[in-house]
Structure formats: structure tokens, C-alpha cells
């Protein structure tokens, strides 16, 4: 999302902190309270929350580290098992 021109050009901010707070407030309004025609006059966050509640773990592959099947850094790895399964062969080493 691009920063709206009225906030950056028409509003004078005293400093960077004030600009950051003003733009953050506008983004919160735009995503949380402003009704969007393309979304059936609903707020984007309402749509997002509904989709997140209905989503399955497999649908959230952009967050693969949160899945329990993702090995942790502390977990011991048996290299023999990885090479036997063919996983290592499919990766570029």
C-alpha cells in the first residue's frame, strides 16, 4: 500500500515521529474502519480475520516455521535418514 498523498504533501508534520504516528493512524483507519466498495462495503481487516479463522495450517505456508512439522534449530538431525529419504538429493546443496 502506498502512502496517501494528502498525508504526506498536505499535512505538515513537525518531525518524523509525528509523521509516523499520523500515517499509522491513517493506515489503521483505512484497513480497520473504512468500508471498501470492492469488498462489499466491508473493512479489509474484517475480511482478513474471517479468512484467517477459516484457514487451515497447510494454507499458511508463508508461515511454515509456525508449523509443528518444521524442525527447530535445537532439534538433532539424523543426516543418514535425510539422505535415505531423498530429500537432500532434491535440494541444491
Q: What is the pLDDT of residues 8-52, one digit of tens each?
A: 556 788 898 998 998 898 889 988 999 989 889 999 999 988 888
**Which pLDDT does position 55 carry in this prediction?**
76
Ramachandran assignment for 40, one of left (phi > 0), alpha (psi -120 to 50 degrees), beta (any other): left
Q: CB neighbours of 88 closer than 8 A, spacing ≥ 6?
A: 82
**Which pLDDT does position 42 carry in this prediction?**
92
Rounded to an integer, the average pLDDT of 52-67 is 70
Q: State which residues form the domain around 10.
A: 5-90
**Which pLDDT does position 84 carry in this prediction?**
60
| Count of the separate structural domains present in the chain | 1
Q: What is the pLDDT of residues 62-89, one digit of tens each?
A: 666 665 665 556 656 665 665 565 554 5
Amino acid at each position: 500500500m502506498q502512502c496517501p498523498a494528502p498525508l504526506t504533501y498536505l499535512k505538515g508534520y513537525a518531525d518524523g515521529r509525528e509523521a509516523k504516528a499520523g500515517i499509522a493512524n491513517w493506515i489503521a483507519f483505512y484497513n480497520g474502519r473504512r468500508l471498501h466498495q470492492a469488498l462489499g462495503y466491508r473493512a479489509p481487516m474484517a475480511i482478513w480475520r474471517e479468512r484467517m479463522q477459516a484457514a487451515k495450517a497447510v494454507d499458511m505456508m508463508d508461515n511454515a516455521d509456525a508449523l509443528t512439522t518444521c524442525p527447530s534449530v535445537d532439534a538433532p538431525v539424523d543426516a543418514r535418514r535425510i539422505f535415505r529419504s531423498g530429500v537432500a538429493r532434491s535440494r541444491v546443496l
